[in-house]
A and B are shown apart, each in its own frame.
Chain A
Amino acid sequence: MERPLTVLRMSLYHPTQGSAVFATVPQRLQHDTSPLLVGRGLDAHLQLHLPRLSRQHLSLEPYREKGSALLAFNLKALSRRGCVWVNGLVLRFLEQVPLSTINRVAFAGIQMVVHVEGGTSLEAFVCCFHVSPSPLIYRPQAEETDEWEDIPKEPPAPGSEPPVPGHLGFLYGPSSTADSSPQPSIGGGTEIQLQREPADGALC
């Protein structure tokens, strides 16, 4: 009996109207256990058409946590010039972070939400793509997801000037176990606002 494949449901958005950025994105892509490359290059498994993108901009690497039967994923930044924003963290070249169940990712003006539905197959996984006509990542006050319903929403910490378009602040509850990298917390209360804004104030 075949084991169910892990599914990555990936929603994509870019502000340009009638965007050709996602012209070659299939509805469904099955991939083996090698890293999935995302970028502008022809050898990218998910090829996006944007001059700002690096040929290899980021990778999604499947692996297995010790003792787990499910595939897990690691997102690694591969762009030397650009960066990748993931769930409030800014990743620079070769930095990486494990993915949570729901992930907000931004790079080169592209917004991507990745929802991981774990399956027990260790041979392959599937990506299902959806191109969104509207932005995927909002200011925290406007954000509503199943994951964070029980977390009271606070305005951004004073002094943190959200750049446009779409502030990518992402509030983690104290119960969040997804992100283990040591980021400084801003503001008080039980909220941990994990943000590392790029130095020039621009989004990745």
Chain B
Amino acid sequence: MQAASPPPGGVVSQHTDLEGLVPLAGAAAAMSSFEDADTEETVTSLRVTIYHPGQMQNGIFQSIRFYNPEKLPSSEVVKFGRNSTICRYTFQDKQVSRVQFSLQLFKKFDSSVLSFEIKNMSRKTSLLVDSTELGYLNKVELPYRCMVRFGEYQLLVEKEDGESLEFFETLFIMSPRPLLQEHDWPAGKPTPEFCRSSLWCTQSTSLSASPREMDENEY
């Protein structure tokens, strides 16, 4: 941390453990609280990569903030569906049930990390979790990586363990192409190469990609 010149009349503290630097009183307080604060726990993170064949035309994902990590309390039942009053994450599609499915966390007895369960909340549509078919109110534990499907929606759900029991984090990514099979790019439309590595995802925000891929308001 660079020492700034002290303000006129300001108090300067002698903070010798900063290798001879003499920070401002305010900066010293901030530094002290940073150093003394509890070690931050890592959080369980859930990365959801979504695809729907009509995603470019129909605005179904317009209320989902992609690439926006969101921290949620671990006791929350996270609902996905059409009804924005009930659901945390909404698909703007009349064919989606008011509540399509829900995710909830729990802790296994012999584990120090959190696990997820997914429950089908749709009376109309089955929920496929890899090859397991869930009917209404059926639920199953989510493996670390799985494909969730209902109707034409495809969601690749990936979980990374964290220490915290209080919170978890969600991150949504929209895939430009189907998750289950290889398709050619639509002709004439420049889109970035899709890569599932988390390294790419962290770099993507700093890439000077065309605004098209990042701007969900376009849909």
A interface vs B, CB < 8 Å?
33-35, 56, 61-66, 71, 76, 78, 80, 92-96, 122, 181-183
Partner of A95, one of B106, B134, B137: B106
Name the segment of B15-23, B107-115, B150-158, B171-179 touching the other chain. B107-115
Partner of A63, one of B108, B110, B114, B137: B137
The answer to whether B106 and A94 have CB atoms under 8 Å apart is: yes
CB distance from A71 to the nearest CB of B (A): 7
Question: Complex: how many Å from CA A71 to CA B138?
Answer: 10
The answer to whether B135 and A64 have CB atoms under 8 Å apart is: yes
Q: How many A-B pairs fall under 8 Å by CB?
A: 45
Q: Does B119 have its Cβ within 8 Å of any Cβ on chain A?
A: yes
Nearest residue in A to B74 (C-beta to C-beta)? A94
CB distance from B32 to the nearest CB of A (A): 28
Question: Complex: how many Å from CA A96 to CA B137?
Answer: 17
Question: Complex: how many Å from CA A76 to CA B75?
Answer: 10
Q: With A63-B119, A78-B75, A94-B114 in contact, is A122–B109 under 8 Å at CB?
A: no
B interface vs A, CB < 8 Å?
74-75, 77, 104-110, 114, 119, 121, 123, 134-139, 165-166
| Complex interface: chain A residues within 8 A of B136 (CB) | 64, 122
Further 16 A-B residue pairs, CB within 8 A, beyond A64-B135, A66-B135, A94-B105: A33-B121, A33-B137, A56-B75, A61-B104, A63-B119, A63-B137, A64-B136, A64-B137, A66-B138, A71-B137, A93-B107, A94-B106, A94-B107, A94-B114, A181-B109, A182-B109
Question: Complex: how many Å from CA A85 to CA B195?
Answer: 46
Question: Complex: how many Å from CA A107 to CA B51?
Answer: 44
| Complex interface: chain B residues within 8 A of A92 (CB) | 107
Question: Complex: how many Å from CA A93 to CA B108?
Answer: 10
| Complex interface: chain A residues within 8 A of B109 (CB) | 95, 181-183
| Complex interface: chain B residues within 8 A of A96 (CB) | 106
Partner of B138, one of A34, A64, A94, A95: A64
Question: Complex: how many Å from CA A176 to CA B110?
Answer: 21
CB distance from B103 to the nearest CB of A (A): 13
CB distance from B154 to the nearest CB of A (A): 23
CB distance from A51 to the nearest CB of B (A): 20
The answer to whether A182 and B139 have CB atoms under 8 Å apart is: no
Question: Complex: how many Å from CA A182 to CA B111?
Answer: 12
